[in-house]
Structure formats: structure tokens, C-alpha cells
Structure 1
Amino acid sequence: MSPLTILVASYTDSIYTLSFDPAPSTGSPTLNLLAQTIVGHHPSWIASHPSNKSIIYAGVEQADGEIAVIKYGKGGTVEEGEVVARASSGGADPCTLLVTEDELIIGNYSSGTIATLPISTSAPYILSSNPWTLSMPFEHEGPNKFRQLSSHPHQTIFNPLNKTEKELLVPDLGADKVWRLTKQSDGKWSICGHIEFEAGGGPRHVVAQGNTIYTLLELTLKLAVHTFPPLPAPPTPFTSLFTLSALSIPDTMTAAEILLPEPNASFPETFIYTSNRNDPHPEGDTIAIFSLAAGEGQPELVNEVRTGLIHARGMVFGGDEDKYLVVGGAEGGGVKVFERVDGGKGLKEIAKLDEGVVGRPTGFLWY
């Protein structure tokens, strides 16, 4: 197998390019730094163009939010990146991006806005300097006075259960809702419904399977489960359960990422993986693994893997049949690659880059 390339978003000023070789001639898998592309303050979220993966979009997470377009492949090598365009994000602290063929959809965390920009795969790459914006509704402050004084969109994702029309889902940590948006005849997005969550839950990210949607509640470290019929039918709550087995949860702990890889020949069973940040345990943060063997609406916590990472934030599956999981500690522990074992019920660390080689990793792309 040829080495795989991984791009790393961060809370530094750079995006990093790594090489992961799962089967080198020397024997053990290796993970190495290839290059570092300076982008700007905190390029914490990265996404690739759907038909041209050499074009990467980064959210520059600052008060006057910015989008940077990075072109890879200069000189024929993947690791060389060059910033080829910049534009306003239409708000403060862009933390999530969704890319279509001709549109970039942005979630601005601190300003509580969704914004869109027209894009192209050739120069000038971003076709307007004035993003269209939509403010998320906000009725009242949440119980968490540090995090819920206003709307905080934390993800923009198309509804994976709706195959006939595009519906945009926006988890809003501040409002304790996942907003449901549809595109109108004028090409603009409009709110047409929502999923309600427990006060103070702080929805962060969602995944879906069959007729069910799973929402990671960042502030209460819970996995919330709903039936999710097409609009206009409302969702129905199934259950919610903690993303870790410990009975005592420190106030500083928060959940970060949720993943649901599609079953395949090597991993025919369905599992949900969530990361938990800032665990005071000496072996670091955990990745919780839930089985759906009992049914879509009945996830069961079947494993907790200690990562040795501090503030395990983003993580992404990659490689053949999503065999590998890359994850990093934004506050310590470096970047690690795990291999799925026991049919997906477990994770085994197989490669690592020490802390300091990559600064404060927050997100990943398998290139």
C-alpha cells in the first residue's frame, strides 16, 4: 500500500501535511511531517472541494472571520500548499465549512450566522467579496452562562437521510437546537424547522443512519437519539445516554466529535465513535464506541479507548474501508493514528507524531 497523505487543521497559523505509511518496508507504520503551510490565525476547520481535492478551504477562526483557499500540488508534490484566495466569512470565528460544486456554506460560531459564498475551481476561486448571511434565531440564554449567551452554529451538514432534496442541518450549541434549513427558489437558505434538546446540552455535531439521527451534546457529554422523518414531520426522541461511563464528570469536560462510518466488508457492523475532551485521567481523553446491534434507536456503549491525548478534538476515518482513525490532542499528546480492531469495536494505536511536531491539531482531512 502506498503512503497516505493527511492534512491537519490547527489552532496555530498553519495547516500541516503528514505522510502516513501503514506498511513500510521497515515494518511498523509511520507518521511523518511533510510540510507546513502558513494560512492565518487559527485555521481550525478544513474541507476539500468535492470534485477537485487539491483545493482546500479553511476557516480562519478570528473576530473578523476569514476564509482562505489553499491550492495543493504545486510543483507536482502534494505537500506544497499555496493560499490563492481570501474572503470574509460573513461573521466571527468560522468553525465549520460545507463545500458544494459552486457554493461554500459557512458557520460563524461567535456571531451566530450562516453565510454562503459562490466558488469556482479556477481563479479567482471565490466569486464574491460579499457573503450572503443569515442570523440564527435566539430566544433566551441557556443555563450554561459561559457558552450559551447567544447562538453558536457548530456544524453545517446536509441531511444524510434526505435523498430527494437538499436540507441543511445546523447544530446550534447556544440555542440547544439543530436547525433545519431548505434552499428557496432564490437560492437562499431558510429555516423550516428544528430539533429541540435538553436545556444546557449544547448540540455540536450530528450523524445519521437509516431513519435515525444522532446528536453529540457537547456540554452534557451525551448522545441524543431521534427518529428523523422528512419534513414537515417532526422528529421524535428515542433516548439519550452519556458518552462515558464515569459517574462523576468534571465541569471542564466536553464532548467534541461524533463519527459513524458506513459498514463495509471488513467492518460489517455499525458503530458510533465519539471523543471526550479534557479528561483528568492520567491516560488522557477517551474515544467512546457505541454499538447499534440492538437497533438504530438503542446505541450501547461497548468500549472506551484511552488515547493519551489532551483535548482530543477532531478525528476522521480514512484508508481502505475506513480502517484507520486519525486524532489529535489540541492541548497535548501529539497526533495519532489508530487501527480499527475487533470488527470495529476496538481501536489500536499504530503510529504517532509527538507533541510539538504539529501545533495544536483541531481537524483532519485524508487527502
Structure 2
Amino acid sequence: MVKLNILAGGDIAFIASYLFDSVGQTLTLIQQNPSGQNPSWIERSVVNPSVLYAVNEVEAGAVQSFTIFDNGTLSGAISSISTGGNGPAHVFASPDGEVSAMNFGGGNGVIVTMQNNGSIFGTSTPITFPVVGSSGVSHPHETIQVDNELLVPDLGGDTIWRLVPDQSGTFSIGGEITQPTGSGPRHAAVFDNFLVTVHELSSTITSQLIPPLGQNSSDLISNLSIVPVDQAALPGASFAAAEVLIPPPNQVFNSTLVYASNRNTGTGIDTRGDSIAVLSLASDGTLQIVNQFFTGLQQVRGMQFGGPDNRFLVASGVVGNGGVMVFERVGQGDQFVQVANNTDIPNLTSFVWV
């Protein structure tokens, strides 16, 4: 029997706690934990797994910390710090102990050192991104870590910024990796030095090698649309790619697969819901779509793998009444079946398995 807790954030004033029972195939809402407004992205501390971080995606953006209890519920906010800008849409907790949050609406962000075993926010280093490209705005969306660098996709700037630490550990912009003009890089993942990026404005996914620091471009190995062929011409549809995940291969699912969520933000709605594109990632970095899994959800913004062998995927839509769904990977990991659903809260945006 597998019973696991799931925490979920969204455009609400609380963080939801769920209990997932894989044998009974149930997903039960057990608590609504009060938080600041719009905890749209949540992340677990790497150095102290009993600590959770959550952004407040509002005009005066902030990040909060919480204690995760053994039953999957949360304490009240332990600590809070300003992100120095508008609309932080993502928070990242590094293995080195820093926490970073980038302001999608402000073109800036912060990297924060942590105290008290990761629960108390300490010194904050502000980062402001230049305006590059033709859009005239900077929209930093996410932070991921590669070795000692932090990479920040900038949806407005069509680039991925490279933040590097100096000898004191203070981060600053050390370069960039330019992306296709007008593509709108949103989220990225790295596997074997291949950078895989989903682009919101073009609804594409690309792969490329991470270039040496100081070299600001790298040829694209793959550049594919992730919109299902039979939805591309759907009247009134408008697609905006959202999330990309590359779970590490394991003994059960031993292929390197990439999962990218489509969001149909238009008026022409497919009754099957929006899809998650499943792609193979070859040893040379080539991507190939192997399946389009229709979720029954509308506009999946965030999703997360969890459970033994990363067997389960939890997701929700930001519109509609689909609630939270848990799917199980089957076959080679390129297929899914729905195993649980809870509609108590119709729309959520990010998840953490605990």
C-alpha cells in the first residue's frame, strides 16, 4: 500500500494538503493551510525536507517558509521576505541552501541565503535583468541549477540568463543562452548537459547543448511544436506551453523521457482536455514526440512526479472544474492512466510530494 501526502499551491490564500492512496485510488483533501495570497508556486527545501517555500504571486511579491508536519499539513508561516518586485511565479531551493524567486512582472528577482537550517530568510541579493530582444520587456519565469550556475528563462527577452557566483558566493549575471526570436522561453530542464526548454509563445520545445560560459549561443538540436496535430487547427484555440519535466530513468522506467504540458488558453476547447506531450530524448540530444496524453484538465500550469520510481504524476488545470488528478505511468512510461481525482478545489498550479 502506498499512501503519500501532496501539497498544492494556487491562486488562493492557502496551501492545500492531500492524502493519496494508490491502492484505494483515492485523493482526499485533509487541510487548507493558511498562507499569504496566491501561493502559486511551492518548493521543498533540499537541505531540510521539513521546510516548504511558497511565493506570493502578487504585485508586492514575497516568499514564505513553512514547516511540513509528518501528516502532510503545514505550520503557519515561519519567515517571509520580499522578492523586490511584481508577480514572482516560481521559487527554487538550491542544494547549496539558497532560495531564489524571479518576478515575472518586474524583470528582476532575488537570491536569498537561508538561516536556521533553511527555515529563516537571511541576506537577499537583488538581480535585475537587462531588456533584450524586440519585446521591450523582461519576464524572468523560473530558476534551475546546473553545477554552480543558476539558469533563468526570460520569456520576454527570448533568452536564458546565466547567474554565476563570485568567490564570496554572491550571484550576478555572467552570460546568457539566446533562444529563438519570439519563442518566449518559460521553463527548462537539463539532462546530460542538454538544455531542454519549453517556449510559451510558440508552444515549442527545443534541445541544445549548454555552451561554455562566455559563449552566448548554442545550435538547436531539436525545435518541435508540442501542440497535438488534431488540435492545431481547432477553431478558437490558442496554445501556450507551460511545464517541462525530465524524471531520472530508473529500473522500472529506464528510458529518458521528457514531459511537456500544453495549455489551450483560447475559446475553442477540446472535450479531452489539454495534453501532456511525451518525448524521447536520444543520446545525441534529439527530441521526438512519442505520445500525446489528454488529461481532461484545462490549462495545466504545473505538474509533478512522485511516489516509488516516480510512478505517479499529479496535475491540475487553472480553469475549469477538473480539480486535482493523479495519473500513473504505465508501459515504458509513455502512457498514463488516471487513478485518483479530487474536485474540492477546482484549480491549482503547483505541487510537492511529501
Q: Percent identity?
A: 34
Match of 1:252 in 2: 238
CA 1:275–1:72 in structure 2 vs 1: closer, same or farther (change >3 Å)? same
1:358 aligned onto 2:345: yes
What TM-score results when the alignment is normalised by the length of structure 1? Answer: 0.89
> Which of 194, 210, 222 is 1:239 aligned to?
222
Moved more, 313-322 or 202-211: 202-211
Match of 1:154 in 2: 141
Paired residues, number: 345
> Which of 340, 352, 358 is 2:329 aligned to?
340
Alignment of 1:161-240 (within 5 A): 162=147, 166-233=148-215, 234-240=217-223
2:309 partner letter: E
CA 1:123–1:300 in structure 2 vs 1: closer, same or farther (change >3 Å)? closer
Does the 8 Å CA contact 1:54/1:72 hold for their aligned counterparts?
A: yes
CA 1:296–1:259 in structure 2 vs 1: closer, same or farther (change >3 Å)? farther
Look up the SS of the partner of 1:199 in the other structure.
coil
Instruction: Give the whole-Å Cα distance in 1 for the aligned partners of 2:201 and 2:349.
Output: 18
Deviations 1:149-207 (A, max 9, x none): 41011111102xx4xxx011000000000111211123321222212122211001111
CA 1:251–1:306 in structure 2 vs 1: closer, same or farther (change >3 Å)? closer
Q: Which runs of 5+ in 1 are unaligned?
A: 143-148
- The alpha carbon displacement at 1:77 in A equals 3.4
Instruction: Give the whole-Å Cα distance in 1 for the aligned partners of 2:116 and 2:251.
Output: 34
Does the 8 Å CA contact 2:272/2:296 hold for their aligned counterparts?
A: yes
Match of 2:271 in 1: 282
Instruction: Give the whole-Å Cα distance in 2 for the aligned partners of 1:342 and 1:113.
Output: 42
Instruction: Give the whole-Å Cα distance in 1 for the aligned partners of 2:68 and 2:290.
Output: 40
Instruction: Give the whole-Å Cα distance in 1 for the aligned partners of 2:79 and 2:140.
Output: 24
Alignment of 1:252-271 (within 5 A): 252-271=238-257
Deviations 1:40-82 (A, max 9, x none): 2110011111122221111000111111111222xx6332432
Instruction: Give the whole-Å Cα distance in 2 for the aligned partners of 1:245 and 1:291.
Output: 16
Look up the SS of the partner of 2:186 in the other structure.
strand
Moved more, 238-247 or 225-234: 225-234
1:151 partner letter: S
Look up the SS of the partner of 2:332 in the other structure.
helix
CA 1:238–1:68 in structure 2 vs 1: closer, same or farther (change >3 Å)? same
Instruction: Give the whole-Å Cα distance in 2 for the aligned partners of 1:157 and 1:8.
Output: 20
Does the 8 Å CA contact 2:42/2:351 hold for their aligned counterparts?
A: yes
Does the 8 Å CA contact 1:72/1:82 hold for their aligned counterparts?
A: no
Does the 8 Å CA contact 1:210/1:296 hold for their aligned counterparts?
A: no
Q: Which runs of 5+ in 2 are unaligned?
A: none
Does the 8 Å CA contact 1:104/1:116 hold for their aligned counterparts?
A: yes
What TM-score results when the alignment is normalised by the length of structure 2? Answer: 0.92
Instruction: Give the whole-Å Cα distance in 1 for the aligned partners of 2:119 and 2:178.
Output: 40
Instruction: Give the whole-Å Cα distance in 1 for the aligned partners of 2:100 and 2:118.
Output: 19
Alignment of 1:40-51 (within 5 A): 40-51=36-47
Instruction: Give the whole-Å Cα distance in 2 for the aligned partners of 1:210 and 1:273.
Output: 16
CA 1:266–1:362 in structure 2 vs 1: closer, same or farther (change >3 Å)? same
Please, what is the CA RMSD of the aligned residues? Answer: 1.9
Match of 1:146 in 2: none
